[in-house]
Amino acid sequence: MYNEIFWYLLISVGFNLLLFIPAFIFKTDKLTDISYSLSFIFIMTFALFRVGDFGFSNLVISFMVLIWAFRLGSYLFVRINKMKSDKRFDGIRENFVKFGFFWLIQGISVWVVMVPALLFIFSSRSLQTIWFPLIGFTVWFFGIVVESIADYQKTNFITNSKKEGKERHWVNIGLWKHSRHPNYLGEITLWFGVYIFAITKLDLASAIFATVGPIYIFIILRYFSGVPQLEKKSEERYGDRKDYLEYKKKTGLILFRFK
């Protein structure tokens, strides 16, 4: 099983490097922004058909990954079509090495996050209990609902603010009243849900190995590519405002803090 799983690391990296070629040639952010979701869709679908077991539990965990990927991909596709370009890639998309390194890391990241689901799909063990899948699915459902609502509220807030000429303001409505990054809360939560769902078919060693998925997504979002960058950006824009400092003081960083 482990040999099969590690082959998917090469598949994930290869798929992303393949997408890198047109993205670099045409210097487009449209493909770059949705490639993350496309990677999950490709690998999950490929793995399911590769193993050839379309049992109920395999279909459910595949559904969990694919629904999330389709939702996020659709959201990012609409967003990049409005933005036209993503400022995160300014100075990078023109550099072959830097831009290629981004795609390489993305390929590795996709595989790491998918480890619990892949281990589940390729495990020959039967479900040990129904409770872990039920709990995992519930946690996943809570996470994807939170992430979806947060993205919807942020998009509406930004759109309405631009129409009303109030561009210099942070999102502070709905879920954003209680967390500065509720979309990341949803993202982290749903992957922990996938992990909880997966461990019911895994032995102890595989269950421990599978923790790399949810732990990795938490560390990346909390300490590297997510929260720190956005917090720095917000501090530069609104750090001189007392109402923003008050908002930071009363609002959770990721977890909800209810007043």
Which residue in this structure is represented by tokens 């036209």? 84
What is the percent of the chain with per-residue pLDDT over 90, rounded to a whole number? Answer: 83
Same domain, 150 and 258: yes
Q: Mean pLDDT across the stretch 237-246?
A: 93
Average pLDDT value for residue range 31-40: 93
Which residue, 105, 124, 143, sits at the end of a domain?
124
Within 8 A by CB and 6+ apart from 120, the residues are 57, 58, 61, 197, 198, 201, 202
- Predicted pLDDT at 87: 82
Do 135 and 170 lie in a common domain? yes
Number of domains within the chain: 2
- Return the pLDDT at 30: 87
Residue 155 shares a structural domain with residue 112: no
Q: Quick check: helix, strand or coil at residue 70?
A: helix
Final residue in a domain of this structure, among 124, 159, 193: 124
**Could you tell me the two tokens for 154?**
């942020």
Residues 54 and 158 in one domain: no
Instruction: Judge if 85 and 194 occupy the same domain.
Output: no
What percent of the chain has a predicted confidence (pLDDT) above 70?
Answer: 97
Residue 165: its pLDDT value, please?
A: 62
Pair (29, 88) in one structural domain: yes
**Residue pLDDT, tens place only, 70-119:** 999 999 999 888 887 888 888 889 999 999 999 999 999 999 999 999 99
Same domain, 134 and 88: no
Please report which confidence band the pLDDT of residue 166 belongs to, taking 50, 70 and 90 as the band edges: low
Average pLDDT over residues 145-150: 98
Confidence band of 251 (pLDDT split at 50, 70, 90): very high
Give Cα separations from 189 to 7, 46, 78, 146, 241 (angstroms).
27, 25, 24, 9, 32
The pair of three-digit structure tokens given for residue 53, joined into one six-digit string: 């077991």
Amino acid letter for position 192: F
Domain that holds residue 234: 125-259
pLDDT at position 187, please? 98
Residues 73 and 206: beta-carbon distance below 8 Å: no
Mean pLDDT calculated for residue range 237-244: 93
- Check pLDDT > 90 for residue 215: yes
130 and 254 fall within a common domain: yes
Mean pLDDT in residue range 53-82: 95
Query: Is the same domain home to 86 and 96?
Result: yes
Provide the mean pLDDT of the chain. Answer: 93
Given this model, what pLDDT does residue 164 score? 66
Q: Do residues 214 and 161 share a domain?
A: yes
| Of residues 223, 233, 234, 210, the one with CA closest to residue 184 | 223
* pLDDT at residue 168 tops 80: no
Res 1: pLDDT: 73
- How far is C-alpha 136 from the chain's CA centre? 17
Considering the domain architecture, whether residues 135 and 80 belong to the same structural domain is answered as no
171 pLDDT exceeds 80?
A: yes
| Statement to judge: residues 6 and 94 lie in one domain | yes
Last residue of a domain, one of 124, 159, 177: 124
In this predicted structure, the answer to whether residue 163 has a pLDDT above a threshold of 80 is no
